Structure 1
């Protein structure tokens, strides 16, 4: 009896092992095939790029919504896209279908996902802010009276922000300040809206995840908030007229780099004190900023000069320049770190640069009119996302 039972169950175990091996092999193949980049095209939806073939495989249509900012959930199953039509789309990445929409407000732009919440910058305008909940005290500095930020009108040179979809849609000193809507990704509802400065642009999180930092172009400031609650911690003044846009934490978490578009510089802030420890000249119109996956180089998209600039990540000394296309605001490394993908809006393309060969352009991926932002799945380092 004992021998019969052993003889009967061994083939079943073997079959189960074979089946498991087949499933694991299939899953590994799917994971490899799933290496993609998502690119928002302001007039054409979201392009999907196969990172193995470096080709545009499909476009997720969003009508006339004008998608710009984008960010992936931690599991990669949902792509969150800010639409100029005033809402946030949640796209199922397995099907390419829009599964939810959340009303945000006028001119939503930058999106970052962090710990189950999406942070979306927008301008309230005449229609007022989105629904708020549990927002008592949000937007007031800790231990400081609430102050009104000093705004400034739009003063962009050619090739600046007026290039967003061909419209000058930024708010000025006399309009309400921008806000950051906080969306619960479980309920897909706005749970809080935080007052910011004028023309809020870049979004970054502190290495410990406790603070949210945003750049405010119109006020020449960087605002710091508690994540989740939106409590204002402090505001850091940049040079007047400098227009801070991009912001990125250093790999060791000890510094932040902020690009100043109008003065063509970037500043390095001490993460503890938020005091400027270094100022570095760049080519014209720096915006997107990111460190490479190895933490060796800092990359700056000098959009008005059509250049990707590379600096040493420790000393911030200039290393090299690589010519790229027109209005290249955002970029991302591929997951393996071998390439850089730059969304070049006025070139209607993504430029592919070889990160292992002096960042030279090796190809272009077209049919992406007014390309705005780019992220990858699996995630990598970039001017929008950080893995």
Structure 2
């Protein structure tokens, strides 16, 4: 019975992937970048130029994700809503009320999962180190202008939005300052990082039932999380202790901890599964590690506050959203050397592509 269920699930995933591929086939490849002051930048991946900007007023967009067919772009706005954009017209077609400070968005099997912080009255808190705002290139590196999350304040929540009705069907209470979102290989579990209380929480996908929680080192502030290509491990970046930890996907027990440069956040495996990439934002560095052994391979200098990144759909280039550099850095994916910058993207936060590709937000598995 279990084998049959897994086969049926695999067949369904394959059919969904084929349908999505057909939907994307006729469209020119593009990238979407959230700019916290300008809206959403649309980059033509053929010319590697900013094609246009979709204005979103004072919404301060951060997290973003595309629906499976690529027809809708979902953007988290600090105005407390999930902004739905028609990708064919660039027009806002719907606004879904979420709650205070929605930040990370992931689409999975017909639902959008949106993290938000009902206990916060202002923008998401600044990344800190030793109780003081983290510095990056002489400027604050974090997410807002006030102190760390108060442990006595209400925890973060995850709104689950039905993409057919665009309604919030439930909200799941999480840890403090929920950041990254990832799904298990079979899609039945959702894992989230909670930087405010140094935990990784695991929920039943759909119902939001808490299954277990893993406590990491105090003060480590876990942020990014990504499943390995073989589905056997998860990699979690620890921003304040400048490390990443490798977790066994079944037991969630740490199997390895690796030092990084300062302030690691975004994490992803390359399309070939050969390399693991870490955005060490406070050190203005993209780090490359062997995806099997986790041995350090190379360091690549990039811009300031590069939190999120994505490969292009053809896998030939890597693009980093560098917020304090107000630009997207473009790297050659064969040697990770910078080949260009795309400017006019003030406080660039996140980046995804259409057709979808591997990156620190989206996953093509």
The TM-score, its normalising length taken from structure 1, stands at: 0.83
User: Unpaired segments of 5 or more residues in structure 2?
Assistant: 1-21, 122-128
The equivalent position to 1:69 in structure 2, one of 49, 63, 68, is: 63
> What is the alpha-carbon distance in structure 2 between the residues aligned to residue 181 and residue 227 of structure 1?
12
Aligned to 1:366: 343
Q: Does 1:95 align with 2:89?
A: yes
The equivalent position to 1:199 in structure 2, one of 161, 177, 185, is: 177
> What is the alpha-carbon distance in structure 1 between the residues aligned to residue 147 and residue 109 of structure 2?
31
Contact 1:153–1:172, Cα closer than 8 Å, also in 2? no
Coordinate RMSD, CA, aligned: 1.9
The equivalent position to 2:264 in structure 1, one of 269, 276, 286, is: 286
Q: CA separation of 1:205/1:181 partners in 2, compared to 1, >3 Å: closer, same or farther? A: same
Aligned to 2:288: 310
The equivalent position to 2:119 in structure 1, one of 117, 121, 125, is: 125
Aligned to 1:342: 320
Superposition deviation, residue 285 in structure 1: 0.3
Question: Could you give the per-residue CA deviations for residues 118-171 of structure 1, whole angstroms, max 9, x where no partner exists?
Answer: 0000011279xxxxxxxxxxxxxxxxxxxxxxxx99654224996456533763
Question: Could you give the per-residue CA deviations for residues 232-285 of structure 1, whole angstroms, max 9, x where no partner exists?
Answer: 000001100000000000000000000000000000000000000000000000
* 3-state DSSP of counterpart to 1:68: coil
Q: CA separation of 1:221/1:166 partners in 2, compared to 1, >3 Å: closer, same or farther? A: closer
> What is the alpha-carbon distance in structure 2 between the residues aligned to residue 207 and residue 119 of structure 1?
17
Counting only pairs closer than 5 Å after superposition, residues 223-234 of structure 1 correspond to structure 2 as 223-234=201-212
> What is the alpha-carbon distance in structure 1 between the residues aligned to residue 262 and residue 322 of structure 2?
15
Counting only pairs closer than 5 Å after superposition, residues 1-387 of structure 1 correspond to structure 2 as 31=25, 34-125=28-119, 156-159=133-136, 163-164=141-142, 166-168=144-146, 171-356=149-334, 358-387=335-364
Contact 1:42–1:165, Cα closer than 8 Å, also in 2? no
* 3-state DSSP of counterpart to 1:125: coil
Larger radius of gyration: 1
User: Unpaired segments of 5 or more residues in structure 1?
Assistant: 1-27, 128-151
The TM-score, its normalising length taken from structure 2, stands at: 0.88
> What is the alpha-carbon distance in structure 2 between the residues aligned to residue 99 and residue 244 of structure 1?
34
> What is the alpha-carbon distance in structure 2 between the residues aligned to residue 170 and residue 116 of structure 1?
33
Count, aligned residues: 334
Contact 2:141–2:282, Cα closer than 8 Å, also in 1? no
Superposition deviation, residue 55 in structure 1: 0.2
* 3-state DSSP of counterpart to 2:191: strand
